[in-house]
Amino acid sequence: MRSIPLYITLLLCFFSFSEVAAQKSKKLRGKDQLAIITSDYGEIVLLLSDKTPEHKKNFLKLAQEGFYNGTTFHRVLKGFMIQGGDPNTRSDGDSTRIGIGNPGYTINSEFTDELVHDYGAVGAARQNDEINPSKSSSGSQFYIVEAKEGAHHLDGSYTVFGRVIKGMDVVEKIADLEIDDDGEPLNRYEINIKVVKQKKKDIAKTFDLDNF
C-alpha cells in the first residue's frame, strides 16, 4: 500500500489545526455574564456553564432581581463545601426554617459528564432522594465545593452548573468560620450577588473554557 506523501499529511494537519483554531475563536466571541458574590470577606466570582442552560438562566435571573441580597451561607462544612441561597436566612426571614427556603419552584436536573464536583465547583442543592427521586434542584440554593480533592461522590446526583474562577481564598475564609452543630456560622454576615458582563476572551485568560 502506498504511503501518503509528507506534504499531504502536513496539509491535512494544517487544515485540522486551522479548523480547531477557528472553532475556538468563534467560541470566544461576544460576552458572557459573571455572577459576583460580595461579602465582608471579599469577592467570589462565578462563571456559569452553557451546558446547564436552565440552571444558568435561573441563577442569573435571581441574582439580577436581588433575590440573594441579604442572605447568608447558612451551611459551612470545612473540607467539604459552603452552601447558601436560602431566602429564610435574610434578617427578616423565618429563622426556624433555615435550610428549606426556596423561590417556590424546582429545576430539572442537568447532569453532564464534563461538569463534575472538582474543587471550586458550583452545584445546586436539593432535597434527598426519598423526597425527591427525580433529583430536581432547588430553585435557589447552591453550594461551592471547598474540598481540595473535590466531592466526586456527588457526581451524577447533584447538578454542577458553574465554577469559581476567582476568590477561592474567600471561600476558604468562610469555610473556616466557627459553626454550630448544624453547620451554621455563629456570627451572622450577609452576601450580595451582582451580575456583570465580560468579554469571553478575557474570561478565557483566567479560565479554560474548552469543556465549559
**DSSP code string of 67-105:** TTTTB-EEEEETTTEEEE--GGGSTTS-GGGTTS--SS-
> Would the pLDDT of 4 be above 90?
no
> Would the pLDDT of 207 be above 80?
no
> Would the pLDDT of 26 be above 90?
no
pLDDT bracket for residue 1 (50, 70, 90): very low
Is the model more confident about 191 or about 210? 191
Level-2 CATH architecture, domain 6-203 = Beta Barrel (2.40)
* pLDDT value of position 6: 57
Distance CA 146, CA 78 (A): 7
CB half-sphere exposure, 212, CA atoms < 13 A: 21
Query: What is the value of pTM for the model shown?
Result: 0.86
> Would the pLDDT of 91 be above 80?
yes
Q: For the residues 117-129, what does the mean pLDDT come to?
A: 97
* pLDDT value of position 10: 55
* pLDDT value of position 7: 58
> Would the pLDDT of 8 be above 70?
no
Percentage of the chain lying above the pLDDT 70 cut: 86
pLDDT tens digits along 33-58: 999 999 999 999 999 999 999 999 99
> Would the pLDDT of 63 be above 80?
yes
* pLDDT value of position 212: 72
pLDDT bracket for residue 20 (50, 70, 90): very low
At 63 the three-state DSSP class reads helix
The three grid cell numbers given for residue 200, joined into one nine-digit string: 469571553
Nearest in space to 156 (alpha carbons), one of 116, 122, 126, 120:
116
> Would the pLDDT of 16 be above 60?
no
Q: Is the dihedral of CA 120, 122, 127, 128 positive or negative?
A: negative
The three grid cell numbers given for residue 181, joined into one nine-digit string: 452543630
Measured in degrees and rounded to the nearest 5, phi and psi for residue 180 equal: -90, -170
* pLDDT value of position 118: 97
Is the model more confident about 28 or about 154? 154
DSSP state of 182: T
| Secondary structure element (H or E) that encloses residue 41, with its range | none
